[in-house]
Structure 1
Amino acid sequence: IIDVFDRYAGTEGNKLTLTKGEMKTLLEKELPGILGSAKEKDACEQLMKDLDENGDSEVDFNEFIIFVAAITCLGHKKFAEPKE
């Protein structure tokens, strides 16, 4: 997780945070398909706003870890649903 964060953080500025663009690139490359639909993009956008606790429009490592946990929970819930 640390390696992934560090790989994308700082490509547009501060090496200790992810900008919105860096976060989008990270998601597209590391979690392909997660931003597939407009609904998912809107949900991701809202999640990023919610995670940006200090309001600097960037995601620091602590905020990123919360994001990873939230995405993991959403994925688990989706895969745990019974298949029809």
Structure 2
Amino acid sequence: MSGLCQEVPQLAKAMILVIDVFDKYAKKDGDAVAGSLSKGELSDLLKAELGEFTSASDKANVDEFFNQLDADKNGTISFPEFMAFTATLTMLIQGLTHGENT
């Protein structure tokens, strides 16, 4: 029980936050289970959570971006597809902040 009272490590907090953000937007269209993102939910997520990092205000860009993320072409973005995007974006940002060419 004492382990539950200890502070959650920073990386674990970050992982929980990513899950919470995905679930928040995946439930926006009324799904009882937050299993995937629709195109509208992805657009809302990009605008609210990434702002300047994306050009989510342009519908054509969102459509293209959605199609690239939807690896299995089922019309939704699953959590694994979202995580692949999140990992790639994180590496790009890390390269930019450290002056690396990626």
| Superposition TM-score tier, normalisation by shorter sequence | 0.7 to 0.9
What code does the residue aligned with 2:99 have?
E
Higher relative contact order (CA 8 A, sep 6+): 1
TM-score normalised by the chain length of structure 2:
0.63
> Do structure 1's residue 61 and structure 2's residue 79 form an aligned pair?
yes
Q: TM-score with structure 1 length normalisation? A: 0.74
Is the counterpart of residue 16 in structure 1 residue 35 in structure 2?
yes
Structure 2's unaligned 5+ residue stretches are: 1-17
Larger radius of gyration, structure 1 or 2? 2
Identity level (%): 32
Between Structure 1 and Structure 2, how many residues are aligned?
80
Kindly report the root-mean-square deviation, in angstroms, between the aligned alpha carbons of the 2 structures.
2.6
Report 1:1-84 matches (<5 A). Answer: 1-14=18-31, 15-36=34-55, 42=61, 45-81=63-99
* Structure 1 residue 49: Cα displacement: 2.0
Where structure 1 has 5 or more consecutive residues not aligned to the other structure, the ranges are none
